[in-house]
Amino acid sequence: MSALAVNLNRRLREGAGSAWFPYLLVAPLALVLWGYVVQPMLATFVESVSEDGTANYAVFFSSSGVARASLFTSLFISLASVLLCGVVGVGMAFLLKRFAFPGRRLIEAFILVPAALPPLIGAIAFQLLYSDIGILPRALQQLFGAERPVLAFDDIAGVLVVHTFTMYPFFYLAASAALAGMDPSVEEAAYNLGAGRLRVWRTVLLPMLTPAMVSASLLVFMTSLASYTAPLLFGVSQTMTMQIYINRTNGDLPMASTYASVLGIVSILFLLLMRWYEGRRSYRSQSKGVAHQRREILNPFGRWLALAASILATLVLLAPVATIALVAFSEDGSWTSEVIPSAYTVENFITIFTDPKSLQPILNSVQMSLIATVGCVVIGVLIAYAVRRLNFRGRALLDMAVMISWALPGTVVAINLISAFSTGSTFSLGQALIGTFWIIPLAYFVRFLPMVFRSSSAALAVVDPTLEEAARNLGASWWRAFRTITLRLMLPGVIVGALLAFVHGVGEFVASVLIYTSSTVPISVAINNRMYSFELGTAAAYGMLQIVLIFVVMWFSSRLENGGRQAEQWTN
């Protein structure tokens, strides 16, 4: 027995050579993914059929009723979001990548700002801007002396505004990359053969953009399907995510689980579809030739028009952040029917930091997110290493499990954890986790593990595997070689992933709102509660802190990533 232990210990230290070493490393990782991602999903399904068998699922097939309507509304919103984001994103990409005009750089600098906002505070910003209590409709109302706010977006239209602003980057980034990778001579050949501009568009450009567009469509569709805050704020209660929330708060866990199972399965199907499509897609050889020349707009009138439009677009892009900033400095209750708040103060920020009860959510969020981030880093880095570097049976499954946790909507993750951990389980050391502190860090871990995994994996991809072999050859044990060489070199990527996970944890709302307890209220739930009690100023102040954190981290990450490309610049 002890001989076996000694042998095992020795193998672990020497490692990596023997055929079964990978399994030694992978087994705990697989166990974590099984315990906290896959098994909870199954628990939700079991929960959904626990009371009435499959009767819960039958409601989706009955022609009337909430379930079916919710499914269809969700699908409709997702489809409409894809179309809107597609038009805006591709349009922006063409405009910014193919034309040179005054103000272009201004737009480019801010183009990703709306999408960077945390989901709740982003949705609130759009509500405060464009809904019937919003600044713009009220300003127009006053301007035209109308009885009601003009051009107010509500209900589904409001949701679509939020989705368009926050999700068009999927299309914008995909189309920009595709345009950048496109060989200009192909397009020129078409012109050379006598095709008109419209024809070139239709027959050359769009088909070449298709793969990128399909991927972006699937992404937007999935993200829209998972969207919870926008329907919540704009009062669209008949969506899948809202029904999960409503059923859960009404105490009908089996029904909530039914919705969660359906939404989970649809999300995973989309994930599979996406993977299949990307695997099937042939990579055309992209010429490394000259980049596309931007077409200069020369007409003076056109230039003025372009400048004006650019400034307007920039204002629109910055408006959400500006609105939150403005409201953050307004006195609570000072904004009723005016266009903008009437009284200003810095009291909100002071209260947040001096009143222990107001400070608590910040402390909670930071603490819970930190814990989750540590977990994400340990597990995410090791999974990335295992998937990229080790040879073992079930590698694809491990990869898939991480991707599932990426594909699952936050709402579904929360329900899964509720189903799995409302009573003790092996994976919670026999304790019930619901109602305890640990459930939220766990949810963050499940939700943001894929971020650390992805950026670690990307970082690992550019670390030459022979470096680790060289270290081993020089006498280092596997662990030492991993620590001093591989991990060391992937560090920039790991840090970026960790920061991303941390920031998302601090901004998390969707899962938190289903599982928080009175002593673990995170910032976003605090914001939501303040909104309900019309303390807009305080809510926005919290939001402003989240936004500042995000921009600081984004700035820092971009420096790190640029530096990472020439690792030695900052490693020594």
Using CB under 8 A, list all residues that contact another protein.
Answer: 14-19, 464, 466-467, 469-478, 480-481, 484-485, 488-489, 566-568, 571-572
Which residue's CB is nearer to another protein, number 128 or number 485?
A: 485
Side-chain-side CA neighbours of 249 within 13 Å: the count stands at 9
The contacts of residue 550 (CB under 8 Å, 6+ apart) are: 116, 117, 118, 503, 507
Task: Specify whether the CB–CB gap between 98 and 293 falls below 8 A.
Answer: no
Which run of H or E residues covers position 358?
Answer: helix 356-389
Q: Smallest gap, in angstroms, from Cβ of residue 487 to another protein?
A: 11
Least gap, CB of 476 to another protein (angstroms) = 5
C-alpha to C-alpha distances, 477 to 10, 17, 134, 259, 481, nearest whole angstrom: 10, 10, 62, 49, 6
**CB closer to another protein out of 195 and 567:** 567
CB of 464 to another protein, least distance (A): 6
The two three-digit tokens of residue 336, written as one number: 């009723």
Which residue, 14 or 132, has its beta carbon nearer to another protein?
14
Nearer Cβ to another protein, position 7 or 210? 7
Minimum distance from CB of 28 to another protein (Å)?
A: 21
CB of residue 556 vs another protein: minimum separation in angstroms?
Answer: 20
- As a whole number of angstroms, the longest Cα–Cα distance in the chain is 89
Joined together, the tokens standing for residue 393 give: 């049976």
Smallest gap, in angstroms, from Cβ of residue 10 to another protein? 9
Output 203 or 571, the one with its CB closest to another protein.
Answer: 571
Backbone angles phi, psi at 315, to 5 degrees: -60, -45
Residue 571 Cβ vs another protein, minimum distance, rounded to whole Å: 4
- For residue 548, the minimal CB distance to another protein (Å) is 32
Nearer to another protein by Cβ, of 303 and 480: the residue is 480
As a whole number of angstroms, the distance between CA 411 and CA 241 comes to: 6
Q: In Å, what is the CA distance from 94 to each residue of 17, 78, 219, 291, 404?
A: 51, 24, 20, 14, 33
Nearer to another protein, 337 or 572 (CB): 572
Please list the residues that pair with 99 across neighbouring strands. 295
CB nearer another protein, residue 11 or residue 292: 11
Shorter beta-carbon distance to another protein: residue 463 or 547: 463
Nearest to 70 by CA among 78, 528, 86: 78
SS3 99: strand
Report the C-alpha gap between 529 and 527 in whole angstroms.
Answer: 5
**Of the two residues 3 and 429, which places its CB atom closer to another protein in the complex?**
3
Secondary structure of residue 485 in the 3-state scheme: helix
Per the structure block, which two tokens stand in for 164? 């368009």
Angle (nearest 5°) at CA 223 between 552 and 319: 45
Distance (Å, whole) CA 545 – CA 252: 35
What pairs with residue 100 in β-bridges?
Answer: 296
Compute the least distance from the CB of residue 389 to another protein, in Å: 13
Helix (H, G, I), strand (E, B) or coil at 104: helix
Report, in Å, the least distance between residue 572 CB and another protein: 7
